[in-house]
Amino acid sequence: MATAVKRKTIYEEQREQGVTRREFLKVATAITMALGLKLKMVPTVVHAMETRPRLPVIWMDFQSCSGPTESFIRSYQPNMQKVLFDMIALEYNGALMAGSGTAAEEHILKIMNEYPGEYILAAEGSLPLLPGALTIAGRPAEETFREVAAKAKAVVAMGSCATWGGIPAAKPNPTLAKAVTDFVPPGVPFIRIPGCPPIGEVMTNTLAHIVIFGTLPEVDELARPKAYYRHRLHDKCQRRPFFDAGLYAETFNDEGARQGYCLYKLGCRGPTTYNACAELRWNGGLSWPIQSGHPCIGCAAPNFWDEAPFYARVVQLPGTQTTINPERVGAVMTGAVAAGIAVHAAATVITKGRITKKKTDVKAQEDIEIGQ
């Protein structure tokens, strides 16, 4: 069996590439800031980069649209050259790896044997239970996933299909699709990075956290990194003051839309969606869906595909109330749309330490309105 070769640390590699100590420290400082850490953490980051080789990553795609891979390569900070050549060793990825067929199959086994318990398995797409619905190299994908996951340091589920089942699992779930996290062997930790797709920087910096600190990031009750999924979009939204003031866009080209008023009446799922869009924004912090005039469709939320129609204002807001509690609105929306999927509401309840659900908040289905 092959044994692990002596691997160089990130620092050693950078030095050999002609990077000076001074430049190296600058990079370490930038990464520290990108991770949202205080400056006093710079020495920790420097130490990590001096002592750790590139993290081996096997990235498998299943019932996926490749949206997570595409979003991953859009990451600004760290950018892809940094990620691929300084931070991780992307040993397997259907979109980027050079070899196919036999070469690819043999290489995945080689990495599993060389780095048992050291590599990260990133997975995108759901796994179907319908026979034949997904084979790779003539085998059910689910079998391969279990084998590769069993020897991983951790599984990182990239995107809403891998984390919750996503669109393949939406009604009527024709291929009996499930989240990959349902197939992770006992004892192997996993992280969920939901979003359809997730923000590129959320994926790269989750890996950066593992590389630099050698630990998995802190996660919430649903295994999502707290650094990116701690708050609802509504809590950070630039249109929030208009919500509080009761000022809404009623359609896509009215005065309210031009003024940048709240999109709640157009169906916005910001009040029930936990994600980093309002904080990090997209594609280098340029904009995000709500800023660019479209209501959030809740793509990081469990089961969001079956909480449509997306333009339906699900809750009747009290017309003059300007300080409505968004938590209450969230509970109502979740309950009204799919009582069985009250995951968000449940998460809210746990977070707040409350133990009873307010069933009186649940509105009947007929209260659903189509946005004008």
- The reply to whether 197 sits near another protein by the rule CB under 8 A is yes
And the tokens for 182? 């349902």
Site for another protein in 25-44 (CB under 8 A): none
What whole-number distance in Å separates Cα of residue 99 and Cα of residue 112?
Answer: 17
Establish whether 344 is an annotated binding residue. no
Length of the chain in residues, anyone?
372
3-state secondary structure of 289: coil
What whole-number distance in Å separates Cα of residue 344 and Cα of residue 331?
Answer: 8
- The reply to whether 245 sits near another protein by the rule CB under 8 A is no
Whole-angstrom CA distances from 53 to 75, 85, 203, 251 are: 21, 11, 19, 53
- The reply to whether 94 sits near another protein by the rule CB under 8 A is yes
- The reply to whether 294 sits near another protein by the rule CB under 8 A is yes
- The reply to whether 238 sits near another protein by the rule CB under 8 A is yes
CB of 227 to another protein, least distance (A): 19
Q: Nearest Cα to 294, choosing from 239, 370, 231, 332?
A: 239
- The reply to whether 246 sits near another protein by the rule CB under 8 A is no
Whole-angstrom CA distances from 102 to 108, 143, 151, 329, 352 are: 10, 18, 21, 53, 52
Segment contacting another protein (CB under 8 A): 23-31, 250-258, 314-322, 356-364? 250-258
Binding mask 269-288 for another protein (x = CB under 8 A): --------x----xxx-xxx
Binding mask 114-153 for another protein (x = CB under 8 A): --------------x-xxxxxxxxxxxx------------
List the one residue from 22, 38, 40, 171 that touches another protein (CB under 8 A).
171
Q: CB neighbours of 363 closer than 8 A, spacing ≥ 6? A: 315, 316, 332, 335, 336
List the one residue from 52, 54, 192, 344 that touches another protein (CB under 8 A).
54
Are the CB atoms for 212 and 45 separated by under 8 Å? yes
Closest CB to another protein among 104 and 346?
Answer: 104
Give the residue ranges of the annotated binding site for [3Fe-4S] cluster: 277, 296, 299
